[in-house]
Amino acid sequence: MSVSEAPAATVEPPPAEQPGRGQWWSPVRRTGNRRAPGRAAGQRSRQGGKWWVPWLFLAPALILFTYFKFIPMGRALVMSAQDVRPYLGNTWVGTANYSEILGSESFRSALKNTVVLAIGQTFGSMLLGFCLALLVEGQTRKLSFIRSAAFLPVVVPMAVVAELWRIMYHPTSDGLLNQVIGLVGLGPSGFINDPDTSLASIAVTGIWRGAPYDMMIFLAGLAGIDRGLYEAATVDGASTRQRILHVTLPGLRPVFAILFVLAAVRGFRSFTEVFLLTNGGPNGSTEVVMTLIYKLGLEQNRLGVGSAGAVLLFLATLVLTVCVQLLRRRRTA
């Protein structure tokens, strides 16, 4: 699985790296004077025996990760404990930003909305994705067409999804979705314009885009279930419901755990759809942590308080991930 470098360095012949000096697979050794002291040292370093070769390959990644992940993370932590004043110098304020944001009514309501939205989207997408996967499981060509069509929302950019649904959510009775629900005698609904339905409407958009993704992963999981178990269950006289309950669901347990983490993290960080559909309105009914952070940081220039919010969101994501991983580990152990 991994190279042991020491023997390679001693056995290796000189390289024929210069262009035009023959091909590397040529069985003919190009040079015989491999013990010539002056050349050997330089050649060996080119051959990967040296300690810095892996670091050279890693350098671009490490530089970019440092600049755009680790430094910003460090900055966020530092700023969250500072009163950030451009051109005036930052002052250390300790936990004041945290207590301010935790104490503010708008943050608490945004946190509530975020959690509600994340839970709604997570379970909605998983449930719908699971049902979809069961329905389109199989090998026929017709099904692969349906699967591709159902998967399309996932690859459509979120900005387009939001603009499309904005128009579909048109609040008067001749809006597209109002016409649809009018067919069964409902509505017209205000959808994203009504504080009572706005958050649910955003969740529906998120489920529409998230469910096909979950469906694909469930399908991959379903493919890994032993067909013989279905057969055995059928021979034993199990109904379809019992088959799903006792064969399919247990077989998919690891898939559920992974999807839960992915979907929940996706829900916690949701920004684009909220920003474009409602931007927090009406009346703050759809304000989520990310839109609040964006407003605090970039519109009100309160970078310290915004960073404190970001750090809290990060911790929530981290705790959730670790908890689910631990649960999973214990179950499989």
Q: Is 170 in the site for other proteins (CB under 8 A)?
A: yes
- φ, ψ of residue 278 in degrees (nearest 5): -135, -20
Q: Which of residues 220-249 bind other proteins (CB under 8 A)?
A: 220-222, 225, 227-228, 230-231, 234, 240, 243-244, 247-248
Kindly state whether residue 83 participates in binding other proteins, applying the rule CB under 8 A. Answer: no
Direct distance between the N- and C-terminal alpha carbons of the chain, in angstroms, rounded to an integer: 25
Residues binding other proteins: what is the number (CB under 8 A)? 123
Nearer CB in complex with other proteins: 112/254: 254
Task: Tell me which of 138, 196, 236, 253 binds other proteins, using CB under 8 A.
Answer: 138
Is residue 15 close enough to count as binding other proteins by CB under 8 A? Answer: yes
CB neighbours of 202 closer than 8 A, spacing ≥ 6?
Answer: 117, 192, 270, 273, 274, 277, 278, 286
Task: Give CA angle at 241 (238, 245), nearest 5°.
Answer: 90
Amino acid at site 68: F
By CB under 8 A, tell whether 204 contacts other proteins. Answer: no
Does the footprint of other proteins cover residue 303 (CB under 8 A)? yes
Name the minimum Å distance from CB 95 to other proteins. 18
Among 40, 93, 276, 324, which residue sits at the site for other proteins (rule: CB under 8 A)?
276
Query: For the chain, percent helix, then strand, then coil, each to nearest 5?
Result: 70, 0, 30
> Does residue 217 bind other proteins (CB under 8 A)?
yes
* Residues in 37-56 that interact with other proteins by CB under 8 A: 46-48, 51, 53-55
In degrees rounded to 5, what are phi and psi of residue 197?
-115, -5
Rg (the chain; Cα; Å): 28
Does 281 help bind other proteins (rule: CB under 8 A)? no
